[in-house]
Structure 1
Amino acid sequence: MARRLRPVGLDFLEDAPVRLVFSARTTAAPEAVYRALAEEVEGWPRWFRAVTLARPTHGGAGREIKLLGGIRFQETIMAVDPEQRYAYRVDETNAPAIRALLEEWRLTPSGSGTHVRWTFAADGPATVRFALAAARPGLGHSFRTAVRALDRRLAGRSGADQ
């Protein structure tokens, strides 16, 4: 059963009781990474193995996401800064006990590629906080694997496609 979460603003990225921050580097340029994140939403399952469905909603102002294991999210896009930042808030989910959830992808040019930083900000009771802390290594591995897969995918495109 889907539940509504507490609506939070971008300041939650700094104030959340649980903040998990991961980073990785791509050889792809920020504009290509940004396009894959924010403009080619339906392509997420091709490079992020945990995502089984991703599609824009509300004319691109939201997203519907399904993960392996059946977790579903209805999201609102909170920040769209081309080539720099993409952030979204979860409004509804069937994940138990989470009260608020906001994610941000930050892109910074790095040499001939992009430094990608993913912040996962959440709130919930102590059991959720403990579970997320325990899940940190797995979430980090999932993120780094996804960024490597995205980088391979982007490297396989011709310059005309990027």
Structure 2
Amino acid sequence: MARRLSPVGLDFVQTAPVRLVFAREIGSPPDAVYRALADDVTGWPQWFTAVTLCRPTGGGAGREVRLKGGTRFQESILAAEGPERYAYRIDETNAPGLRALVEEWRLSPSGGGTGTGTRVQWTFAVDGAAPLRVALKLGRAGLGRAFRDAVTTLDERLASAKA
């Protein structure tokens, strides 16, 4: 059964009870990474292995996302500021224990200011029941690994598309 979550805004990224922040530098330029995040929504399952379906809704104002294991999300896009930031809020989910969740992707040039690569930072901002908050803190390493693997695969995908 799907449940509605709190309609938090972008400020929640800074104020959430649980904030998990991960970063990685990759070789692809920020504009290409941003396009993969924000414009090629249906391509997410090809580089983020936990995602089995991702499609735009509401004329691009939202997304429907399904994960391995059956978790489903209806999301609202909170920021689409290419090529620096892409953020979305979970509005509805079948995942237990969640009260609010916002994910923010920040992109900035890397490579000593040459702009040849991208520093990708992903913030996973959550509020939920106490057992969920504890589980997320304990699962931080796994989420970090999923992020690193996804961003690495995305970088490889972008490099092969360019070649």
Q: How does 1:8-157 map to 2 (within 5 A)?
A: 8-111=8-111, 112-157=116-161
Q: What is the total number of aligned residue pairs between the two structures?
A: 159
* Separation (CA, whole Å) in 1 of partners of 2:26 and 2:145: 15
RMSD: 0.7
Deviation at 1:158, TM superposition (A): 2.5
Q: Which amino acid aligns with 1:133?
A: K
Q: Which amino acid aligns with 1:73?
A: F
Unaligned 5+ residue runs, structure 2?
Answer: none
| CA deviation vs aligned residue, 1:38-71 (integer Å, no higher than 9, x gap) | 0000000000000000000000000000001000
* Separation (CA, whole Å) in 2 of partners of 1:128 and 1:99: 10
Q: Percent identity?
A: 64
For normalisation by structure 2, the TM-score amounts to: 0.96
Instruction: Look up the SS of the partner of 2:139 in the other structure.
Output: helix
Q: Which amino acid aligns with 1:116?
A: V
Unaligned 5+ residue runs, structure 1?
Answer: none
Instruction: Look up the SS of the partner of 2:131 in the other structure.
Output: helix
Instruction: Look up the SS of the partner of 2:162 in the other structure.
Output: coil
* Separation (CA, whole Å) in 2 of partners of 1:33 and 1:108: 10
